[in-house]
Amino acid sequence: MDFKEAAKLGSCLSKDYAEDLFRLLATYESISASEAASRVSIHIKTTQDFLEDLYSLGILTREEVYEGKRPYFRYSLKVKQISMEVDLTTLHLKEEITDSRLKIKIREMKNAGVRFTTSRSNDCISNVVIWMGEGRDRTERKINLSIPQGKFLFHLPFPTAKPLSISEIMKKAGIDSVNIPEIIDIVQVLIDFKVIESI
């Protein structure tokens, strides 16, 4: 199951009424949203959403039946057990990091409205504070950095300096290639915030 499905399942299981609804589903051969809602004393729309989420996750089956001319669904358990397994490697940077990405030349953007806070060891940036908006609407966004990201930004060329490639800055900062994904991530974030310019 992917992360979105796991989040949906987790949300269902965390509801106060989840155990009671599952008990009904395990007891009844099939049950409608209105029947389940009346038993658990919750709103029918809340029950309907819960049952539909479980149906979309493949935990329930549903059958459309008619009462007079009005159709509605009856839900049945499709599984006897629920197990959650999430492959976190799918959350890795989706695009392949190519040599061309590492060759992009970058430097700090002039008048970026940003503050770099140096760590106590004075060889690393610990966080970046970005100011957004104007006047009373001005807000502050603080981004705390990992150690490799901090070392990388410590060696980021100033706005008036000659831009360097990402790989050149990494070499200068002594950053290992295993940290490339998190370096690419912070560079992209700071480009989006107009803190870094790519040449």
pLDDT digits (tens, 9 = 90+) for 116-139: 999 888 889 999 999 887 777 888
∠ CA 183-185-108, rounded to 5°: 70
Percentage with pLDDT > 70 across the chain:
95
The pTM of this model reads: 0.63
The predicted model gives 5-30 an average pLDDT of 95
Give the closest residue to 157 by CA, choosing from 104, 106, 115. Answer: 106
Q: Report the mean per-residue pLDDT for the chain.
A: 91
Residue among 141, 151, 132, 146 nearest 185 (CA): 146
Domains of the chain, residue spans: 3-77, 93-198
Q: Which residues contact 80 (CB under 8 A, 6 or more apart)?
A: none
pLDDT in tens, 75-108: 999 999 998 888 887 776 545 556 688 899 999 9
Strands 114-118 and 60-67: unpaired
Looking at residue 93, its pLDDT comes to 56
Q: Which CATH class is domain 3-77?
A: mainly alpha
Element (H, E) at 100: helix 99-102
Residue 92: its pLDDT value, please? 65
